[in-house]
Amino acid sequence: MSARCVIGRAAAVGTALVMAFSTPATAAAAQGTFWVNNVPILMEPLDYACYPVDWAKNNQLRNETNRRAHVYNRRGCAERDLVLVLDLNQAQSLPYSADGSVKFIPK
């Protein structure tokens, strides 16, 4: 076998190994639904992704996912805007309306 053939095969095997171990991991997602006033808003949201969520005064926010729902009173999920953390099957109303956001955090 020639040196060129051996080098070519080694390069092919090396390329295959690099591709096998460098594929991106699948993003984790919550199982379940986030509701606003009995309307399903988000189904199986991705962990740590920030989603815009609007609510009116006294609307009920309900978390039926297997993650903690961090609710913010502004867009962008900035920690300073955190107003509520809902665990599984927990619901609460807020006494104001907002163009807010929500992020799902694994327990």
- For residue range 12-64, what is the model confidence (pLDDT) as tens digits? 555 544 444 444 456 799 999 999 999 999 999 999 999 999 999 999 999 99
Asked whether 3 and 10 are in contact (CB, 8 A), the reply is no
Exposed, middle or buried: residue 50 (CB in 10 Å: 0-12, 13-18, 19+)?
A: middle
CB-based burial, 16-41: b 16+ in 10 Å, e otherwise: eeeeeeeeeeeeebbebebbbeeeeb
pLDDT at 107: 85
**3-class SS string, 12-34:** HHHHHHHHHHCCCCCCCECCEEE
What is this structure's pTM?
0.75
Helix (H) or strand (E) holding 10: helix 3-21
Question: Rounded to an integer, what distance in angstroms lies between the CA atom of residue 48 and that of residue 98?
Answer: 21
